[in-house]
Amino acid sequence: MTVIAFIGLGNMGGPMAGNLVKAGHDVRAFDLSQASQDAAAELGVGIAGSARQAVDEAEIVVTMLPAGKHVLAVWEDILPAVKPGTLLIDSSTIDVASARRVHALAAERGCLSLDAPVSGGVGGAKAASLTFMVGGSEEAFALGEPILARMGRRIVHCGGAGNGQAAKICNNMILGISMLAVSEAFVLGEKLGLSHQALYDVASTSSGQCWSLTTYCPVPGPVPNSPANNGYKAGFASALMLKDMKLSQEAAQAVNASTPLGAAAAQLYGLHNALADGGADFSDIINMLRGRSGA
Ligand code: NAD
């Protein structure tokens, strides 16, 4: 049994902390929101009075927070209270620069650290089937992997500090762009008199095949479980896709990478958020291309 502090018990963090309890760990957690605290307490998570209190005897600390500024603030607050040698893991999706900054703060305190963002959504957090993309030293990874394995199914070490976040935003840039490509093809096909099923049957077994088509098809019918069959209810909210697209653009600017399709996609998801409110699934972008919102 390991004493684990868990800060940030929202839609993802709550069930992730619950899975660590299920695995037999002593989890001491904190969240600013009473509702998040109550939901996690029902899963057996111990609730502390503050983040500093939660880390008091922790051997491992996990944070799952909205954005880089929250992670920086929380790590700056708790680092003086953790013992040197403690492993800190941030699983939030944040900008690469902030991720590398908090690794440096941890090193100054004599602590080990990992950036370990996830994919798999709330369903994956509940089912402990997340994929973790991990950045940090070999030593930190060796210590953190068994803990991450209690919350996820696939753990990929992507290299040094910040590389987990780099892998996450590169992957999601592919996803955001590919959903637009698939959506544009369906809208064009409709205008050319092609049925959704016919285009699906061809593209899903041809060179247009991709996850956005075969798992998350943006029109109802061909893939029965995709959000298009459920009024475009998220799923993966357009607001979260916009967040990730902006992170990829920030990173591209910082290292002078040319990502013109990523830039266009970020603009289009920005427009979609303004029109359809960020709560709709990101595949609802097809309706914006048709000149309306299906959400
Ligand atoms: P959420 O908004 O549901 O939860 C965030 C929690 O952090 C909230 O409960 C909030 O009260 C708490 N919090 C904020 N500042 C705090 C502080 N200073 N101290 C303690 N608690 C604080 O968000 P989420 O959906 O759980 O996502 C968390 C992270 O995971 C985000 O970075 C998100 O981009 C990423 N992510 C989310 C999904 C998803 O499908 N929801 C999928 C992959 C990655």
Whether residues 129 and 186 fall in one domain: no
Residue 73: which CATH number? 3.40.50.720
Give nearest CA residue, ligand 1 atom 42.
121
Task: Give the DSSP letter string of 223-268.
Answer: STTSGGGGTTB-SSBHHHHHHHHHHHHHHHHHHT---HHHHHHHHH
Q: % helix / strand / coil in the chain, to the nearest 5?
A: 55, 15, 35
Whether residues 173 and 286 fall in one domain: yes
Whether residues 9 and 132 fall in one domain: yes
Range of the domain at 41: 3-161
pLDDT at 235: 87
Give nearest CA residue, ligand 1 atom 8.
10
Which residue among 22, 69, 168, 233 is the active-site one?
A: 168
Flag whether 57 is in a domain.
yes
Whether residues 120 and 89 fall in one domain: yes
Whether residues 146 and 286 fall in one domain: no
Instruction: Assess contact for 245 and 266: CB atoms under 8 A.
Output: yes
Give nearest CA residue, ligand 1 atom 14.
65
pLDDT at 67: 95
Q: Which ligand 1 atom sits closest to the C-alpha of 240?
A: 34
The pTM is what? 0.94
Question: Over the stretch 73-119, which tens digit does the pLDDT of each residue have?
Answer: 999 999 999 999 999 999 999 999 999 999 999 999 999 999 999 99
Instruction: Assess contact for 218 and 226: CB atoms under 8 A.
Output: yes
Q: Which ligand 1 atom sits closest to the C-alpha of 36?
A: 9
CB atoms within 10 A of CB 225: 10
Number of domains in the chain: 2
Helix (H, G, I), strand (E, B), or coil: what is residue 184?
helix
291 Cα to the center of ligand 1, angstroms: 32
Whether residues 88 and 183 fall in one domain: no
pLDDT at 234: 87
Instruction: Assess contact for 284 and 295: CB atoms under 8 A.
Output: yes
Domain final residue, candidates 161, 184, 204:
161
Question: Over the stretch 230-275, which tens digit does the pLDDT of each residue have?
Answer: 999 988 999 999 999 999 999 999 999 999 999 999 999 999 999 9
203 Cα to the center of ligand 1, angstroms: 36
Return all residues near 295 (Cβ < 8 A) that are at least 6 apart: 231, 232, 233, 276, 277, 279, 280, 281, 284, 287
* Residue length of the chain: 295
pLDDT at 295 over 60: no
Whether residues 279 and 204 fall in one domain: yes
Question: Over the stretch 132-173, which tens digit does the pLDDT of each residue have?
Answer: 999 999 999 999 999 999 999 999 999 999 999 999 999 999
Residue from 168, 169, 120, 112 nearest 11 by CA: 120
Whether residues 118 and 201 fall in one domain: no
Q: Return the bridge partners of 30, or none.
A: 7
Ligand 1 pocket (Cβ < 6 Å) reads 7-13, 30-33, 36, 51, 64-66, 70, 73-74, 92-93, 118-119, 121-122, 240, 243
Q: Average of pLDDT values for 26-33?
A: 98
Which amino acid would we find at residue 52? R
Q: Which ligand 1 atom sits closest to the C-alpha of 14?
A: 26
Whether residues 85 and 194 fall in one domain: no
120 Cα to the center of ligand 1, angstroms: 14
12 Cα to the center of ligand 1, angstroms: 7
Q: Residue 191 catalytic?
A: no
